[in-house]
Amino acid sequence: MLKHSRQLTLTGGNGILPGSLSSVWMIFSALTLFVVSSPAPDLKLPTLPNFFKKGDDELQETAQAPAGPGGMCILPSGDYVVAFHQFFNPPFRVMRLDREKSWEPFPNAEMNTPGSGNPMLLDSVLGIASDARGIVWMLDNGRRSGTPPKLVAWDTKRNQHHKVIVIDALALSPYSFLTNIALDPVGPFIYIADPADGFSSAIIIVDTQTGLTRRVLEGDRSVQQDQAVSLALEGRVVEVRRPDGAIASPLTGVNPIALDRKGEWLYYGPRNGASLYKIKTQLLTDPAIAPHVLASQVTGVSPKPICDSMTIDSKGRIYFGDISRGSIDYVSPDENYLNLRLLILDPRITWPGGLAIGPDGNLHFFSSQLHRTPFFNSGKDITAPPFYIFKARPLPSSRFGF
């Protein structure tokens, strides 16, 4: 359990509403809202003079995405593979930035073209990750066309199909909207964040050897949204106007998800939540452990901002894409993860996501502008390209540096 119990009211958050528009409105009309009693540690943010990085040369624009990104991974070669968020209605679901700095459909145009008849057709990819062998795993939530969610793996070194795993319907809820994935570096497991409606949120475990999938921690406080935490950007609360004219706030639960370098602990938390949690992967992958026993093993780690993306470096420091502030924040084991500190703040950062430590040792992420899509603006597209991809140096190995 977390040591602190004072509830925090934050402003900030991945505006993903689960499912199709019609099912979304059903969720809002059916749910009775309540406050989740999840304990939250004190959120300590440094004042502006305490930036670790401030110079113009510290945040580098490495590329401009052709549409709003939803997820990103980096190949061992250093190439970007970007999944484009379905709220932008992109012509291609996934694209790769090749070494000539040109964007091309990934893995190919056929798998990105509706009606092509390809059995591995990509519908709506958000979660995406590459392993050390260059195999890219793409999480297709299927919510664009109502197709079953699946994992599609592509071997980039051999340029061929590796595996497809359809997520079992028993591992889903009626409101499932699968977002992010974490690849086990040593075992055959993939962990999926399902924020669902913010209440039936859960983590899905996939055994890539057997194809078996399981839903765990559904409705646990560690995966549910915190009603005291709301999302506001650019001077207004991010909300959706329903077809009947009523205003609704986007609901979301567990979203940021990451594994430590040894694959021993899974770190996660709700997008709209002030606390980060962890649980041992050995427990998650054991189907014999009863649900209530599993829930009792969840441990509070640190404060977190509203975010839908995070990554962990080799020193155990955890970096968050702070959506409400447009910044990159971090917590460090050197401070027992007690203090949420600011790493980078820049006006070009708008709804940061896709955080990853690349083969070059740098921290990479993108600016998505998700809150400016028609979904959140009564059908109007108010995005302002370009959609930047950045890189920056993470913390030094010796000390914080401020």
How far from the centroid of its chain's Cα atoms is residue 175's Cα?
17
Confidence band of 402 (pLDDT split at 50, 70, 90): very low
What pLDDT is stored for residue 252 in this prediction?
Answer: 82
Buried b (16+ CB within 10 A) or exposed e, 297-331: ebebbbbbbbbbbbbbbeeebbbbbbbbbbbbbbb
- pLDDT, residue 36, reads 28
Inform me whether the pLDDT recorded for 297 exceeds 90.
yes
- Nearest 5°: CA angle at 329, between 248 and 41? 70
The pLDDT, as a whole number, for residue 227 is: 85
Contact status, residue 291 vs residue 279, Cβ threshold 8 Å: no
More confident position, 379 or 314: 314
Q: What's the rounded Cα separation, in Å, for the pair 395 and 402?
A: 10
pLDDT in the model for residue 3: 33
Whole-number pLDDT of residue 236:
84
Strands 387-392 and 327-331: unpaired
**Region of poorest pLDDT, from 64-73, 220-229, 359-368:** 220-229
Q: What is the mean predicted confidence (pLDDT) over 356-366?
A: 97
Q: How confident is the model at residue 7 (pLDDT cuts 50, 70, 90)?
A: very low
pLDDT > 70 in the chain, percent: 82
Q: How far is residue 124's CA from residue 248's CA, in Å, rounded to a whole number? A: 24
For residues 355 and 35, give the distance between their C-alpha atoms in angstroms, rounded to a whole number: 30
pLDDT at 385: 93
More confident: 213 or 116: 213
- Inform me whether the pLDDT recorded for 106 exceeds 80: yes
- pLDDT higher than threshold 60 for residue 54: no
pLDDT at 251: 60
Q: Are 220 and 194 in contact (CB under 8 A)?
A: no
> CB burial class (10 A; 0-12, 13-18, 19+) of residue 220?
buried
Name the average pLDDT for the chain. 85
Q: Which neighbouring-strand residues pair with 155?
A: 135, 160
> Sorting pLDDT into bands at 50, 70 and 90, what band is 103?
very high
Average pLDDT over residues 127-139: 97
Higher pLDDT, 279 or 24: 279
Q: Residues 142, 87: contact at Cβ < 8 Å?
A: no
CA 352 to CA 12: how far, in whole Å? 12
What tens digit of pLDDT does each residue of 235-272 get? 888 877 766 766 666 668 999 999 999 999 999 999 99
Sequence-ordered list of residues with C-beta below 8 angstroms from that of 313, at least 6 positions apart, any chain: 319, 357, 363, 394, 395
pLDDT band at 397 (very low <50, low <70, confident <90, very high): low
At residue 238, the pLDDT reads 83
The proportion of the chain whose per-residue pLDDT surpasses 90, expressed as a percent, equals 72
How far is CA 178 from each of CA 139, 183, 194, 203, 297, rounded to the nearest angstrom? Answer: 8, 15, 5, 9, 24
Range with the poorest average pLDDT among 39-43, 60-64, 123-127, 145-149? 39-43
Average pLDDT (222-228) is 92
pLDDT of residue 43: 39
pLDDT tens digits, one per residue of 163-196: 999 999 999 999 999 999 999 999 999 999 999 9
Residues with Cβ within 8 Å of 289's Cβ and at least 6 positions away in sequence, in order, are 283
pLDDT at 378 (0 to 100): 80
**pLDDT score of 285:** 97
> If DSSP states are collapsed to H, E and C, what string results for the chain?
CCCCCCCCCCECCCCCCCCCHHHHHHHHHHCCCCCCCCCCCCCCCCCHHHCCCCCHHHEEEEEEECCCEEEEEECCCCCEEEEECHHHCCCCCEEEECCCCCEEECCCCHHHCCCCCCCCCCCCEEEEEECCCCEEEEEECCCCCCCCCEEEEEECCCCEEEEEEECCHHHCCCCCCCCCEEECCCCCEEEEEECCCCCCCEEEEEECCCCCEEEECCCCCCCCCCCCCECEECCEECCEECCCCCEECCCCCEEEEEECCCCCEEEEEECCCCEEEEEEHHHHCCCCCCHHHHHHCCEEEEECCCCCCEEECCCCCEEEEECCCCEEEEECHHHCCCCCEEEEECCCCCCEEEEEECCCCCEEEEECCHHHCHHHCCCCCCCCCCEEEEEECCCCCCCCCC
Task: Say yes or no to pLDDT of 41 above 70.
Answer: no
Query: What domains are there in the chain, each with its CATH number?
Result: 21-392 (2.120.10.30)
Q: What is the pLDDT of residue 340?
A: 97
Mean pLDDT score, 209-223: 97
Nearest residue to 298 (alpha-carbon basis) of 224, 231, 241, 391: 224
* Pairing, β 341-345 against β 352-357: unpaired
60 beta partners: 391
